[in-house]
Chain A
Amino acid sequence: MLRWEGYCLDLVSGKGAVKPPSWGFFHALKRGPDVRYLSLMLGKVIKDSNGSTVGRLEDMAVMAGARFPLVRGLVAMSGRSRSRQCFFIPWADVEGWSREGFVVDHIDESREAEPGDILMSRDLLDRQIVDMDGYKIVRVNDIRMARVGDGLRVLGADVGFLSILRRLAPGRVFDRLLGFYGGVPRERIVPWNLMSPVDPIPYDVRLKIGYREFLAVHPSDVADIIEQLDVGKRAKVLALLDDPKAAEVLTQILPGVRSSVAREMGERRLSGLLEIMPPDEAADILGTLPREKARSLLSLMGIEEASVVTLLLGFDPFTAGGRMTTEFVSISNSMKAEETLTYLRKVGTEAETIYYIYVVDGDGHLSGVLSLRDLLRAAPDEVVSDIMLRDVITAQVLEDQELVAERLSHYNLLAIPVVDDEHVLQGIVTVDDAIDVMLEEATEDIAELSGVSPEDEMTIMGDALDPRRWAGTMLTLLGGLLGTALFGAFRNSFAAALALVYFVPLALRAAHDASIWSLAVAVRELGYGEFRMPVSGRILLREYAFSLAAALLISVLSFLAGLVFTESYGTALAGAAGLFVGVLLAGVLGLVLPMALKRIRPDPAVGGRLLGVMVMTVSIISFLTVSGLIVRSMG
């Protein structure tokens, strides 16, 4: 499980100088390997264990009436269009699956799906269902599933806007663009238990089951479902779970969502959950809550737990202290190997890792470390200070998290002890925390590569023979030729009103200008990684509004100028209208393209020019189309 809770404070309150990582990146990781969509699986190749293709995935069967059912089997389609044949493959025969398709170890072409099963593509996909939550009728755009162990569990129907886009353009670019927008806010999932079909299905299916069925589902799946629910319902769902499970679910919910859940929950229950979850998680949750509420929650917690959490709350989230957990195993240096093992058995369930046992002296100073392997190999009565490794790699409490993560990776450690100025052991940072840190940093790096940062071009300029520089120049040339070709294609419009020519330089310059502005905004937002949906919605709106205003202004002014040059009312109007559309589109593109490019990651020098050419092409086409049409229609 990935954690980056240090950021939630700012995601929620919007205060402080802390920058949250890109949500899209987070989602791509959290959901990428585990969440599956029916639409992306249909049509995938099914192979047998020898690697020869037996058919393509036509449908998936689930048991009717089951709650968040497991996929029972695949319906495969074999043969060409004339001699097509469908047969059923029980899930037990599926050996494995990946993005490319399925591998099965046993084929029986005469098998058919159980008549009572729901075939999801046939019976649900594209059909209308009643969303029992609010009793709205919606159309199923996709079916969302999650990998659970070796099986696939159906979570619900995706009825949101994104799912339409995903099915329209399942290509990598759009898929990533979607991921970039950050799934949660725009995805609308109707949980399986709240679905009810509108159309009479040939057999009697009752999909509707109670909320209690959440009990049977894996905590991260529950977290997933909770994230999709309306604000008011989340806490209610959590209330149905018993404490250990609720605590686990709570730690797995997205930080932004989680703090809203926490705020809705009763204090007594919440403090109970905080008490049983790992202290670093508890600290992260408390950090996102208003001060008053956090304080009263702490006062409700047990003294011991509260003091640990309070300690953790005191650290800057970007330091080793902020990342660390206090649940580690430490022993005194006089203990014997056998004693240590016994002790490990007792405390092992609580600790975050038991592979490293830290040895401290009477004052808590870290004196050495012992791996589980060393311990197992040691003779029972050996004293740990004799077998421990004294030269421990440590991190300082106030050290930057990135350095700590790098050190972990450099020394191939599973955890690194965190010590204070006096070398007293305070906690450990585990490898999964380090992965989080590195991913966040990687997100930043990608933004720098997005192809529009001026510094990148500077470095290239130093070398006149750099091939990338030539590639960029050639791209500009090609773009110019493309523009010429476009003018050729539209020469009829010009024949109708040669005076439109007056507008061409203006159209090109203005479109370029408008796109540069929104480009700058897009790059800035990307760079800071704050482009998550609620914020970016506002930014998008603001930028679109700006583009609109700029386009309006430019077209009105150029209309007046056009009147002077062309002395024709109609031509000036046609030119101005063309300009309006061209500039507007350029502005919008300037905002949208970097997001798309960021995912493709072209070379910086090429990326920027590619943008330029795209914007130019679109603005020329739209200018010529619109003004050409108007000129012609006025004939």
Chain B
Amino acid sequence: MYAAVAGPGIVTALAGNGASGITTYSVIGSRFGLSLVWLLTICTVSLAVFQEMSARMGAVTGKGLASLIRERFGLRLTFFAMMVLLVANVAITIAEFAGVAASLELFGLSKYITVPAIAIFIWVVVTKGSFSRVEKVFLAICLIQVSYLISGFMVKPDWGQVALAMVKPEVSTNPAFVLAAIAIVGTTVAPWMQFFVQSNVVDKGIDMAEYKYERMDVITGSILSNVISLFIIICTAFTLFPVQVVETAEQAAVALSPLAGSGAKWLFGFGLFGASMLAASVVPLSTSYAVCEAFGWESGIGRKLSEAPIFFGIYSLSILLGVVVVLIPGVSLVRIMLLAQELNGILLPVILIFMLTIVNDPQIMGEHVNGPAANAIAWITACGAFVLGLVLFVTGMFAL
């Protein structure tokens, strides 16, 4: 039974930890050590709560999140939400292509060749409908992320220190620190993940009877992905911090050297590649599904180009943008990935508030509205993300 339902949560979690996720955690670990780990703990809980909410909305209503937003809020707010989602997702897509470029550059392949080739490959595979098979391959590659767990034990960290860091908040108004915090929030609880998991639940036709298994799936996925995130930070914190701040993928790969030695580069490269491929195909697709769903345009990879022009248009344009930006000569790939996560963190509260309003509307959710605990956590996350964005804005203003 579990096997039939399992999937959406795990896939979302692994794709959510895509290339930009790995990179973000590496940079943060190397730059701030363990001082932001406490936030990761909070985000794990938030992620589980939000993923559960999305899955529940899907199971109760049988509709995607975009559909619910449109029907609950009308056209104008939907337009706003979709613009936010579009910006956030395009940023992630760009970041994932940066991940593709970075991982393959580790193997000495020029991005000017690999990125266009990979983009065409993804476009063809997804639009020709053979994505479900390929998805499994990417997922398998993603499991390389587990190597961080092993590496994490091998660096023999001070576990007491880690445990303390997980619960003891450290705060600073240094804009770089705030940005890093936003990036963590944006990476763990990305807006697109909520849309993605919900439409997956709807597509699989999961209803409330099967829902308890689905809930296990999303919660497992959330915890798994963030445990990996934690270990990425541990590895980089204990190998690189405070000596070296990660600025290239090559430096980030060092975190795996306790496990793989000189092969760290290869291991890291493969893991990054799998993760970015998965996310680079899933995120643009999820974007165009959501936008078309909201506005009632035809969508679906089974359609012909002429039948669903906007659907394919958004999909293709996202990929194209990803390629174009990554190919700008001299651009810092790591910086792109970080920027995308920061942007997502800033835009996150918008989507969360939409979700929270819907999930608490008894006319839509019936008896399955949020409980007080879920509401408290969710609102704290939304407000927290909002306050972080605000702090960033204010400190940024003073820094000018």
Contact = CB atoms under 8 A, between A and B. Distances in A.
Interface of A: 39, 125-128, 136-141, 159, 164, 167-168, 492, 569-570, 573, 577, 630, 633-635
B330 A634 contact: yes
A634 B71 contact: no
A175 to B, nearest CB: 15
A139 B292 CA distance: 10
Interface in B311-353: 328-332, 335-336, 339
Contacts of A128: 67, 296
A635 B295 contact: no
B331 A167 contact: no
B74 interface: yes
B331 A164 contact: no
B75 A168 contact: yes
Interface of B: 67, 70-71, 74-76, 78-79, 294-296, 298, 328-332, 335-336, 339, 400
A569 B335 contact: no
A166 B79 CA distance: 12
B75 A633 contact: no
A168 B70 CA distance: 13
Contacts of B74: 125-126, 167
Contacts of B75: 39, 126, 141, 164, 167-168
A569 B329 contact: yes
Contacts of A137: 296
Nearest to B310: A161
Nearest to A169: B76
Given A164-B295, A167-B75, A139 B332 contact: no
B296 A138 contact: yes
Contact of B298 (A136, A141, A167, A569): A136
Nearest to B74: A126
A633 B331 contact: yes
Contacts of A140: 296
Contacts, number: 53
Contacts of B330: 569-570, 573, 634
Q: Would you call the interface of chain B mostly helix, strand, loop, or mixed? A: helix
Contacts of A164: 75, 79, 295
Contacts of B79: 164, 168
A357 to B, nearest CB: 56
Contacts of A570: 329-330
18 contacts: A39-B75, A125-B74, A126-B75, A127-B71, A128-B67, A136-B298, A139-B294, A141-B296, A167-B74, A167-B76, A569-B330, A573-B329, A573-B330, A630-B328, A633-B328, A633-B336, A634-B331, A635-B335
Contact of B400 (A126, A159, A492): A492
A168 B328 contact: no
A633 B76 contact: no
Nearest to B292: A139
A137 B292 CA distance: 11
Nearest to B307: A136
B332 A573 contact: no
B332 A634 contact: yes
Contacts of B78: 126
B328 A126 contact: no
A127 B400 CA distance: 47
Residue with the greatest number of chain A CB neighbours at <10 A, chosen from B70, B296, B329, B400: B296
B400 A139 contact: no
Contacts of A136: 298
Contacts of A125: 74
Given A136-B298, A140-B296, A633-B328, 7 more contacts: A126-B74, A126-B75, A138-B296, A167-B74, A168-B75, A630-B331, A633-B336
A168 B329 contact: no
A159 B296 contact: yes
B60 to A, nearest CB: 13
Contacts of A167: 74-76
B220 to A, nearest CB: 32
A573 B296 contact: no
Nearest to A570: B330
B296 A139 contact: yes
Nearest to A140: B296
A197 to B, nearest CB: 12
B356 to A, nearest CB: 19
B71 A126 contact: yes
Contacts of B67: 128
A127 B68 CA distance: 10
A633 B332 contact: yes
A547 to B, nearest CB: 18
Given A128-B296, A167-B76, A573 B328 contact: yes
Contacts of A573: 328-330
Nearest to B62: A199
A633 B329 contact: no
A633 B296 contact: no
Nearest to B76: A168
Nearest to A129: B296
Contacts of A141: 75, 295-296
B22 to A, nearest CB: 20
A139 B331 contact: no
Contacts of B329: 569-570, 573
A76 B313 CA distance: 41
A74 B330 CA distance: 62
B339 to A, nearest CB: 7
